[in-house]
Homo-oligomer: A and B are copies of this chain.
Amino acid sequence: MTLIEKLNNEDRFAQSIGVRLTDIREGYARAELTVEERHLNGAGVCQGGALFTLADLAFAAVANARGLITLGISNTITFVRSAQLGDRLTAECTEAADHQRLPYCDIRITNQDGAVIACMTGLAYRLNKEFGFDRLM
C-alpha cells in the first residue's frame, strides 16, 4: 500500500468529512475538498476546522513521506477569504525547511479560481520509528 492510499484509508477523520489526498511527491502533497452543506459554520461559510483538516492532511503526507513517523506539533493558519458552498478547494503543501528532526512546511488553500482561501504553516517532530508503508508511491 502506498502512503497516499494509506493516508486516505486510515485517516478516518479526513475521510469522514470528505477530504482526499490527490497527489504526493517528494516534498509536496495536494489534498482536495468540495464544500458541502455539512461543512458550513453559523455564518454560512466553510468552517475553519474543515479548512484546517484539508491543510493538515496535505501536511501529514509531506511530513511522513520519509518513512519515519512524524507528528504535527504546531500550526498557524490564517484565513484570508471565505470559502463558499460548492467551492472546490485544493490544499498544496511544500516543505519549506527540511530539518531532520523538525520539518517545517507551508500549506496554501486555494479555490477553483485560484484565489487564496487560507495559508498555514506546520512544524512537525520526527520520531526514530518507521511508518508502516512500503514505498512512497
Residues on A facing B (Cβ under 8 Å): 6-7, 10-14, 16-17, 37-43, 46-50, 52-53, 56, 60, 69, 71-81, 96-97, 99, 102, 104, 106, 108, 116, 119, 121, 123, 125
Contacts and interface: CB of A to CB of B under 8 A. Distances in A.
| Assembly stoichiometry (copies) | 4
B69 A79 contact: no
A123 B73 contact: yes
What is the predominant secondary structure among interface residues of chain A facing chain B? mixed
A22 to B, nearest CB: 16
A48 B77 contact: no
Given A52-B52, A56-B49, A121 B78 contact: yes
A11 B47 contact: yes
Contact of A52 (B46, B53, B119): B53
Q: Which 4 residue pairs are nearest across A and B when measured between Cβ atoms?
A: A49-B53, A13-B47, A10-B42, A76-B76
A82 to B, nearest CB: 8
Contacts of A11: 40-42, 47
A74 to B, nearest CB: 4
B104 A13 contact: no
A113 to B, nearest CB: 14
